[in-house]
Structure 1
């Protein structure tokens, strides 16, 4: 009886470990690999149209994250296990000549992976991503002052579903000019595991990847939105990426955070030009 109980517990723990993986990856195609990293709460499917508009043959690896889009949560900390599992994944798959494309928080992960993986990474494209969001959103606030147990986080955790939905819709309208995509973006937050949403965002605000930028040797394309203004966006990107040596900054006119929704053709053109140039 004890052996049967022990075996049952072992199987249950194994199933739980599998279900609580930090990432899920969809793999498709043949050619040099591209790792597509979406932003916070966003499913990997946000990259589908971009992938469909790639010029040439590539093996694409599209990532989704624990706690979002129906995936089981993994608890806290959240960002570090996601990053570590991505590094393991690239090594397990033996991906070389790799290009990493990351949007928003996916750009933070892309930056971390490029530093960690060294010469495995041949290309890096960051789409409306900042190495230290806190410096823009909360200037003067230290990372150590941000804790999981805080009045703001507790308010977000206890917020009624209707109020949270209204907040998500308001935030979504600030992320795209495409009215048809507002409810979609909001739904990703609404359907997310609430603790992952709240505590994972605390992880992101604590990040400051600016010191590690000087270790990146890969030619980097930084694509930014022009909201709230082109001048402000240009200054922000130049300041945040000042220590990154080999970079090009390009800004999409009339675009908010989800450039793939607001200026898709511009995005495809920028990515394809970079991939063609980087392959030479």
Structure 2
């Protein structure tokens, strides 16, 4: 009887472990040198659909994150689980000569992957991302001061759908020049698991990858948005990426945060030229 009970418990634990939601979902298509496309916070891998449709002679790995894109949520710490899952995936798939492209938070993940797997990553494109967002968004605040349980987060968690939709619209309108694209971003963010949306952002604010940049020795392409103005953006990028040994910083002439929507031709051409080098 005791043996039967132990077997049932072991089976239950095994089923639970294997039924846990995965941190990432990855769509693989094509053949050639591998390109991994990492979306920003709140967005599905589909944010890269138009760009990836033009990628010929590449094997494309298009990533979506748990809690977004209507995928099941996972427990905190959320960001670390994404990073570790992506590193495990790259090793399992034995990806070499990997080209990483990350937008916003995806740029942070790409940075950490490149720093962790220098023998596998040959190209790194960072699209409007900062290694320490906290320095810009909450200046003077330390990482230790940012906790999951705080009045702002609790207010966000308690918002009804109408209040959340208003908040998300304000965010999205500030991130693209195109009203139709803003509506798409709003739809994606409203589909997000609320706790992932709130606590995940806290994890991003706590992050500081500036020391990790010292581990990256390949030439890196950094693309920035011109909003609010080119001079401010370039100065911020130069300061935040000072520890990156070999970098090319290029600023769009007419774009907010979602450069792949506002200035797609310029972005695509910039990446193509960098890949060709």
Q: Same fold (TM over 0.5)?
A: yes
Alignment of 1:225-264 (within 5 A): 225-264=225-264
**RMSD between aligned residues:** 1.4
Note the alpha carbon deviations across 1:27-61, whole angstroms, 9 max, x for none.
0111010111000111111111111223x410010
Secondary structure in structure 2 of the residue aligned to 1:59: strand
Q: Counterpart in 2 of 1:177?
A: 177
1:50 aligns with 2:51: yes
Q: Counterpart in 2 of 1:128?
A: 128
Q: Counterpart in 1 of 2:22?
A: 21
Alignment of 1:164-203 (within 5 A): 164-203=164-203
Secondary structure in structure 1 of the residue aligned to 2:119: helix
Q: Counterpart in 1 of 2:12?
A: 9
Q: Please report how far the alpha carbon of residue 21 of structure 1 lies from its aligned counterpart in structure 2 after TM superposition.
A: 0.5
Q: Counterpart in 1 of 2:206?
A: 206
CA–CA separation in structure 2 for the residues paired with 1:8 and 1:242: 52
Q: Please report how far the alpha carbon of residue 3 of structure 1 lies from its aligned counterpart in structure 2 after TM superposition.
A: 7.8
Note the alpha carbon deviations across 1:71-106, whole angstroms, 9 max, x for none.
111111101011001000000000001110000000
Q: Counterpart in 2 of 1:271?
A: 271
Alignment of 1:114-153 (within 5 A): 114-153=114-153
Note the alpha carbon deviations across 1:119-169, whole angstroms, 9 max, x for none.
111000000010000001111110000000001000000011100000000
Alignment of 1:102-117 (within 5 A): 102-117=102-117
Secondary structure in structure 1 of the residue aligned to 2:141: coil
Q: Counterpart in 1 of 2:78?
A: 78
Q: Please report how far the alpha carbon of residue 16 of structure 1 lies from its aligned counterpart in structure 2 after TM superposition.
A: 2.3
Q: Please report how far the alpha carbon of residue 9 of structure 1 lies from its aligned counterpart in structure 2 after TM superposition.
A: 2.8
Structure 1 outlier segments of 4+, above 4 Å: 1-8
CA–CA separation in structure 2 for the residues paired with 1:131 and 1:167: 25
Note the alpha carbon deviations across 1:162-196, whole angstroms, 9 max, x for none.
00000000100000001111111011111110000
CA–CA separation in structure 1 for the residues paired with 2:19 and 2:164: 29
Q: Please report how far the alpha carbon of residue 7 of structure 1 lies from its aligned counterpart in structure 2 after TM superposition.
A: 7.4
Q: Counterpart in 2 of 1:97?
A: 97
CA–CA separation in structure 2 for the residues paired with 1:104 and 1:234: 16
Q: Counterpart in 1 of 2:156?
A: 156
CA–CA separation in structure 2 for the residues paired with 1:159 and 1:207: 26
Contiguous gaps of at least 5 residues in structure 2: none
Secondary structure in structure 2 of the residue aligned to 1:210: coil
Secondary structure in structure 2 of the residue aligned to 1:67: coil
Q: Please report how far the alpha carbon of residue 5 of structure 1 lies from its aligned counterpart in structure 2 after TM superposition.
A: 5.4
Q: Counterpart in 2 of 1:33?
A: 34
